Amino acid sequence: MSEFLVSLLGERLVNSEKAEVDVQSLGAKLSLVGLFFGCSLNAPCKQFNASLCEFYSRFKKASEHKDNLEIVFISSDQDQKHWHDFLQEMPWPALPFKDRHKKMKLWNKYKVTSIPSLVFVDSATGKVVCRNGLLVVRDDPKGLEFPWGPKPFAEVVAGPLLRNNRQTTDSSSLEGHYVGVYFSAHWCPPCRSLTRVLVESYRIVKESGQKFEIVFVSADRSEESFKQYFSEMPWLAVPYSDEARRSRLNRLYGIQGIPTLILLDTEGHMITRQGRVEVLNDPECRLFPWHPRPVLELSESNAVQLHEGPCLVLFVDAEEEGELEPAKELIQPIAEKLMAKYKAKEEETPLLFFVAGEDDMSDSLRDYTNLPEAAPLLTILDMSARAKYVRDVEEITPAVVEQFVNDFLGEKLKPEPI
């Protein structure tokens, strides 16, 4: 366990007294680590830290699992004094301020897109046990449900579901169906835009004979708003009054923002977290149920994924959609191999793959990242770290791409700033 934690966090952490904490000394009984991503200048982080301190103190005093849990602060502070002042409020250790490389690796590994964020991981393997620790602290203040691991969708969603005609059906009716779990709210403009598209997608899939259902999990701020919004939807919803069930579903899928559409297969296993992107990219639903594709063609609707972690982007001289196919075929075997490797380890792939032609989206990305106009151009872009890696070669071959990917994953490449 300690060897893995050292590889994840480094050999030394620091505490509020500026003393070093040996990672290997965290305890033989340790089974769960809560990675607290935050910043001293962020008001919600300050508020959550106060709640987390109460939770931590209560857990360490009263829980039979008190020796099985530790929390580590992963800061995005740019000022060391601000960081240290914030650390003074915490009874747990933190990653050293200067270890920015390790911090960015953790942000990318656990795909943190907003703060505050608390991710519980298995201390022996680093696998995510629970993505949405904020809801754990809120919903299980005594820590009675430790270690907060994932439960089957059927168990978490169990109970009556609504239709907008006020009729109810039991969640058991979802058995044998593909299911879209739709986290959305009326106050959110992107949510309303997606809902209009999703209504049509839902109709197309249902009319094709597929067993498909959507369950709306509301983030509306009142029951009246929920009712108004749900009246536009032809699918099912968790009752707004059942806040506990809505919260458990948010926790199950680690929801960090809306709209989010999770697609599940007929056994309740996740197909993709990117249902929003898939629906917008495939209005005719030809690719339903939208299994992840190894290589994506960069578009306005999927560009949001560039911010979810490192992405390989191969820019090519192509103005028409079909002209991107040779580029996709070139990198697809490498992408498939990487996906298979990490799927076998039950981990998310550490790199997404895109091809980009000549269009406004590609031009905007080049401008934003200050890339040359050359084509073909092989790059890896890490937006959260504001870093880019460029392979400047005369000919891009599968061997060149594979070596580039391996060097990146092996941390052998020197980043350039974005």
Q: How high is the pLDDT of residue 95? A: 97
pLDDT band at 382 (very low <50, low <70, confident <90, very high): very high
Neighbouring CB atoms inside 10 A of 28's CB total: 9
Q: What is the mean pLDDT of residues 301-326?
A: 86
Q: What burial class does residue 55 get, using C-beta atoms within 10 Å of its C-beta: 0-12 exposed, 13-18 middle, 19+ buried?
A: buried
Cβ–Cβ < 8 Å for 92, 73: yes
Distance CA 303, CA 315 (A): 14
Q: What is the pLDDT of residue 80?
A: 95
How large is the average pLDDT for residues 105-120?
91
Instruction: Please indicate whether residue 223 or residue 344 has the higher confidence score (pLDDT).
Output: 223
Rounded to whole angstroms, the Cα distance separating 75 from 103 reads 7
Q: How far apart are CA 217 and CA 38, in angstroms?
A: 26
Quick check: 1 pLDDT over 60? Answer: no
Burial class (CB in 10 A: 0-12, 13-18, 19+), 32: buried
Report pLDDT digits (tens) over 184-235. Answer: 999 999 999 999 999 999 999 999 999 999 999 999 999 999 999 999 999 9
pLDDT of residue 94: 97
- Counting residues of the chain whose pLDDT is more than 70, the rounded percentage is 99
> In the predicted model, what is the mean pLDDT of residues 90-112?
92
pLDDT at site 320: 66
- Structure confidence by residue, pLDDT tens digits, 70-97: 999 999 999 999 999 999 999 999 999 9
Backbone angles phi, psi at 28, to 5 degrees: -70, -25
- In this structure, the strands spanning 236-237 and 212-218 are parallel
Query: 227-256 pLDDT, tens per residue?
Result: 999 999 999 999 999 999 999 999 999 898
> Across the chain, what does the average pLDDT equal?
94
Mean pLDDT of 267-271: 95
pLDDT in tens, 117-171: 999 999 999 999 999 999 999 999 999 999 999 999 999 999 999 998 889 999 9
Instruction: Identify whether the C-beta of residue 223 lies closer than 8 Å to the C-beta of residue 238.
Output: no
Mean pLDDT of 30-54: 97
